[in-house]
Structure 1
Amino acid sequence: MQSTAPALPDVLCLRDIRFEDAAALLAGYGLELVLVGDGEPIPGSYWGEPEAGIIGPTVYVRRDTPVHSMLHEACHLIVLPPERRVQVHTDATDSVPEEDATCYLQIVLAGRLPGVGSDRLMADMDAWGYTYRLGSTRAWFEQDAEDARAWLTARGLLL
């Protein structure tokens, strides 16, 4: 019997990097990264497995969670003030500027994650289906994300 499920794109997953590196990166922002067992449900996952989940200041992942998903959900929490973080369960965004800032920041943080880098993350975002009006994540990041950069800079999240 042949599977009719679509094949997932070939993107970096948590199993492809050192969990400790990812956990340390998130801890620097006051977040906890929790590894859920293979095949177990991911708490707080908006899109369902294998996508990362968020509840309060905690990001939940499995080994098959894409790195871009872990960073995206973590960045949703990072852009929020601490008093809003603790209220988050599954869905953190309430505005387009926050979503744009989240996407921008995940690309920046990928550059600080050994074995990932911003270039690979942008390629993975494209492969996974992120869409931008200029046609690619890189084009958006380099040519159309001034508002996201300004939003993050104004809040002290970018230097």
Structure 2
Amino acid sequence: MHPDTLPLPGDPASTVMRVGQIGFDAPAALLDRFGLQLQRVAPGEPIPGSFWGDEEAGIIGSTVYARDDTPVHSLLHEAGHLIVLPPERRPDVHTDATDSIEEEDATCYLQIVLADELPGVGRERLMTDMDAWGYTFRLGSTRAWFEQDADNARAFLEARGLPS
């Protein structure tokens, strides 16, 4: 979500799960499995490498940056961008990981799969949060895309030995 359109109280996007609700330990352990680091940013401090700014996660090299108020879906999305990249490309990443539709689709799919690895999150909650935040898919919802229209993303991940 763009910072100019941040959710207002009562907006469905205001109910998305935040990293502070689940803590940093489980996400850090998950990212470590892929050779990534999670860096906690102090409350109110700008998040380094954040494409959208405000509370959205950021990426620089092999590090994902997040605050307590960062949405879990944002942390997983940015981590997913780094995971789908070959490790030799990661050092060049700063803020914007790709302009490839294929990698973007794979990242969206992967963030949903990885949500199952975080206690208290899971794919059902993550897909609901993605819809509330404003992710858009041509079939109208994250779930419809994931279940009916993401064969290319799944194939991309499988070809690289990534969770799918």
Normalising by the smaller structure, the TM-score range is over 0.9
Q: Which among 129, 138, 145 is matched to residue 143 of structure 2?
A: 138
Q: Which among 67, 70, 74 is matched to residue 75 of structure 2?
A: 70
| TM-score of the two chains, using structure 2 as the length reference | 0.92
Tell whether 2:128 aligns with 1:119: no
Gaps of 5+ in 1: none
Q: Which among 8, 13, 34 is matched to residue 18 of structure 2?
A: 13
- Which residue type is aligned with residue 127 of structure 1? A
Q: Which among 21, 27, 35 is matched to residue 40 of structure 2?
A: 35
Note the C-alpha offset of 1:6.
4.6
- Which residue type is aligned with residue 37 of structure 1? A
Q: 1:6 to 1:113 in 2, by over 3 A?
A: closer
Note the C-alpha offset of 1:19.
1.1
Percent sequence identity is: 70
Over residues 33-74 of structure 1, what are the superposed CA-to-partner deviations in whole Å (9 max), with x where a residue is unaligned? 000000000000000010000000000000000000000000
Q: Which among 97, 117, 120 is matched to residue 92 of structure 1?
A: 97
8 Å contact 2:115–2:123 — kept in the other structure?
Answer: yes
What stretches of structure 1 move > 6 A for 4+ residues in a row?
Answer: none
| TM-score of the two chains, using structure 1 as the length reference | 0.95
Q: What residue is the counterpart of 2:62 in the other structure?
A: 57
Q: What residue is the counterpart of 2:3 in the other structure?
A: none
8 Å contact 2:113–2:163 — kept in the other structure?
Answer: no
8 Å contact 2:7–2:14 — kept in the other structure?
Answer: no
Gaps of 5+ in 2: 1-5
| Distance in structure 2 (CA, Å) of the matches to 1:149 and 1:25 | 20
Over residues 95-119 of structure 1, what are the superposed CA-to-partner deviations in whole Å (9 max), with x where a residue is unaligned? 1000000000000000111110000
